[in-house]
Amino acid sequence: MLDWLRKRAEAAQRRLAAAPGRDLPPGAASPPASGEAAARIATPTPAAVPDRPAHAAALAAGRPAEAQALAQRAVESAPDDIEAWVTIARVAVDRRRAADARRAIERLRALPAAGGRADWLAGLLEHQAGRREAAEAAYRTALGIDPMLADARFQLARLQREAGRWEEAIDSCRAAVAADPLHAEAQADLGAMLRDRGQGDAALPHLRAAVDADPRLARAWFNLALAQIDAAQWAPAAQSLERLVALEPRQAEAHHWLGHARMALGEPDAARAAYAAALAADAGFLRARWALAMAQIDPVPGSLQAEATSRAAFAQALERLTTWMRTRAPADAFEAVAVAQPFYLAYQDENPRELLAQYGRLCATAMAAWARKAGLGAPPAGAPGRRPLRVGIVSAHLHDHSVWNAIVRGWVEHADRSRVEFHLFALGGHEDDETAFARRRAAGFHRLGAWPDAARALAAARLDAVIYPEIGMHTATAKLAALRLAPLQLASWGHPVTTGLPTIDVYIGAEALEPADADAHYTERLERLPRLGCTPRRYGVAPERIDLVGAGLQAGERVLLCPGNPFKYGPAHDPLWVEVARRSPQGRLVFFRGGPEGLADRFERRLRVAFEAAGLEFHAKVSMQPWQSRARFFGWLAAADVFLDSAGFSGFNTVMQAVECGTPIVTLEGPSMRTRFGAGVLRQLGLGEWVASDAAGYAERVARLVGDAALRADVSARLRSGARVLFEDRAASTACVDLLERLAAAPPAR
C-alpha cells in the first residue's frame, strides 16, 4: 500500500504543480489537530451489507484466516454453499495457493447456480500469474454467463488499466458500479481514473461512494482527499486524511498531505504536527521536511513575540534543511522545491533578503541537478540587436487576477510589437475573458503542462528574456524560475519581495514605489520603471448597494474600510487600529474575513484582545464582514467614508479600486515596496498629504476625514479627476520595452 500511495501522491504533486491557485501553504472550520483527531476516530468497519455471510464479512474486513475457517465450516454443513466456496477460492488466490484455489473453482463449476463466478476466479489466478490474455478471456467468459457480475467487470477494468487501455478501463468500471453500486473497489478505481484525467468533479461522487461502502479502503480515502484538494475543499480533505491516518498511522504520505490541508485551513500548529508525523514515519521524506521548514512562518502570529519566534524558527529550520540536503544530496531533491514556500515571510516587517537568499540558493541547487540530469544545458545567448525581442512571460495568473490586472495586462496591451514580442506561457488551466484578451494581444500564447514539460518548452522557445511576474505564489512558477531557461531572467512585484533566486538577474520595480535604499532589499539587480511602472486596469464595475444596517452597522456610523486579507495585518500594527477607533468615535472599522477561515478567526481574536486591553468594546468599534464578490466590494467602497490602507503590507489593487470609486484613502508609508503602494499612488495623484509616516499621523488623518464631509468630498473629487493619469499611463509599457532592449544588449553580470 505504501508504494501505491507514494506513486499516487507523486502524481498528485505533479497535478497540483501545474494547477492554478493551488499554492501551498497559501492556498486556504477549525478541525482539531491531526494527532488529537486520529486518537478520537474509532477504527472504521465495513458498511453493512444485507444478508452478508459471516465469512464474507470477515474477508471484507481484512481477516482472511477467520474467513477461511468460517467458510470451511459452512461447506462442511452445506456442500453446495456457493458463497462459501467463493470465499475459500478468494482466500486461496490472495495467499497464492493455486492448487487450493483451483479445487474451489472446480467445485463452483459443478454448481450451475454459481453462474460466471468460477470463470471470474479462474481469471484472477491467470491474472496473478501474469497471463493477461488468458485472464481477459476468463473474465469475458464470466461476463458472457452473467453480464451483471460486478467483480468480473472490476477485474477486467484493472487488467485494461494495467495495459494502458484507459477508456476501456473506465467503461468497465462504470459497468461494475452500475451492476453493484456498493462495490467499493470499483467505485474507488473509477474515481481515481477520472481524477487522473482531470475530471475531478466527476470523480468525487465515486470516491465518496467507495468510502461509504467500505470505510477501511485506504486508497479510496487517499484519492478522495486529493480530489477534494484539487477542488480546494480543504476541510473535507483534512477529514478524509484523518480517516486515512487512523487506518494507517505510519503512512507518511497521508500525514504529509494532511499538513498541506491544515496549512491551507490556517492551522499552522496542526500542519507542523502533521509534517512531523510524516517524518517520524519516514525520516527520509524530503517533501515533508521541506514543508515543515516553510510551515515555521506563522501566517497570523498572536503577538510580536510570537512573530519573532516564528521567524527565528524558520531561520533555524532553513539552516537544518540546507545542511540535510548538502550532506545527503538526495537525487530527487528537485521534487521538494516549492512544495511549500515562505509566502508569509513577506508579511512580516523585517527585511527578508538574507533568509530568502539562502532559500533561493537551496532551490536553485536542487533544480540545477535536475536540469543536468534532464539534459537542459545553459541557454544560448540572445541574438545581438534582434528586433523584435522574443520575451516570455510565465504566469499562473493570465486571467482576471490581481497580478494580471495590475502589471502584466498593461505591458502586453501597450507594447510596441515592432520592438518586442511578448509570448505568454500560462500555467494551469484557468480561462476567462481576460485570458481571451491575452491570447489576442500577445504574439504567442502557450498553455504549459506539468513543470518538467514546461521547462523543456521554455528552453526550446529560444527566448531573449523571460519574466516571472509573481514568483512565490505558485509551485510550478517557482520551480521554473529556479532554472536557467533564458539568457536574461527577470521578476516583478506580483509578489512584492525579492525572490532570493540566483537564477533571476533583474527585479522590475517602479520609481514611485521604491524607497531610496531599495537595492538593499533585493538579491537581484533592481531596475525602476518610471512612476508606477504599469498601466493598471480600470474595472468599471457597477457597485452593488450595501445595506449597512443589515450588515450590522449602526445608522449614522462612518464606514472605515479595511480591505486586506487577515494575514496582511501584523501584530505590530494592532495599536494603530485601536488609535484610529479612539480618535474617530463615530467611525466603525470594517474588516473582511478573507480565507483561510482559520486565519480570520486568529486575527479577530488577537485584535479583540488589543481593543479590550485599551478599554474599547470590540464589537462596538469593529465589524468583521464575509469576503465579498467584486460587485459587493465596490459597493462597500461606494459606501465607505474612508479607505484605510493596510499597514505593513499595502494593497495596490484595492487602493486602485478606491481611486476608481473616489473613496478617500489614508496610508502609512513604510521602508519597503510592499509597504508603499498606497503612498506611491497618492503621490502620483498629488494627494501626498494623506500619506502618514507614523501611527499617530495615520489616525489623525482618518479623524480629519471622518469629521469633515466637505473635506471628504474634495478628496473624492481630486481622486476621480486624477485617476486618468494612472489608468492611462502607457509610458510605463514603453519604458518596460526600453529596459528589456537595454538589458538584452548588455546583460547583468552573474
- Res 46: pLDDT: 39
Taking the C-alpha atoms of residue 54 and residue 746, their distance in angstroms, rounded to an integer, is: 79
Q: Report the percentage of the chain scoring pLDDT > 90.
A: 83
Contact by Cβ (8 Å): 379, 744: no
- Res 270: pLDDT: 97
pLDDT at 22 over 80: no
pLDDT at 40 over 60: no
Q: Which of 77, 74, 295 is nearest to 88 (CA)?
A: 74
Contact by Cβ (8 Å): 176, 183: yes
Contact by Cβ (8 Å): 668, 586: no
- The stretches of 375-408 forming alpha helices (DSSP H) are 402-403
b/e string for 145-184 if b means 16 or more Cβ within 10 A? ebeebbbbbbbbbbbbbeeeeeeebbbbbbbbbebbebbb
Q: Is 691 helix (H, G, I), strand (E, B) or coil?
A: strand
Q: Is 200 helix (H, G, I), strand (E, B) or coil?
A: helix
Contact by Cβ (8 Å): 359, 318: yes
Using one digit for the tens of pLDDT, what is the confidence trace for 157-166? 999 999 999 9
Q: Is 730 helix (H, G, I), strand (E, B) or coil?
A: coil
Using one digit for the tens of pLDDT, what is the confidence trace for 336-384? 999 999 999 999 999 999 999 999 999 999 999 999 999 998 888 766 6
- In order of 472, 523, 590, 645, 650, the CA distances from 675 in angstroms are 18, 19, 21, 10, 5
Taking the C-alpha atoms of residue 153 and residue 148, their distance in angstroms, rounded to an integer, is: 8
Contact by Cβ (8 Å): 454, 336: no
- Res 750: pLDDT: 67
Give the relative orientation of helices 82-94 and 98-109 as an angle to the nearest 10 degrees: 160
Q: Is 667 helix (H, G, I), strand (E, B) or coil?
A: strand
Using one digit for the tens of pLDDT, what is the confidence trace for 182-218? 999 999 999 999 999 989 999 999 999 999 999 999 9
pLDDT at 676 over 50: yes
Neighbours of 330 (CB within 10 A): 15
Contact by Cβ (8 Å): 667, 678: yes
Using one digit for the tens of pLDDT, what is the confidence trace for 225-258? 999 999 989 999 999 999 999 999 999 999 999 9
Q: Is 380 helix (H, G, I), strand (E, B) or coil?
A: coil
* CA end-to-end distance (rounded Å), the chain: 47
Taking the C-alpha atoms of residue 125 and residue 243, their distance in angstroms, rounded to an integer, is: 33
Taking the C-alpha atoms of residue 207 and residue 205, their distance in angstroms, rounded to an integer, is: 6
pLDDT at 29 over 70: no
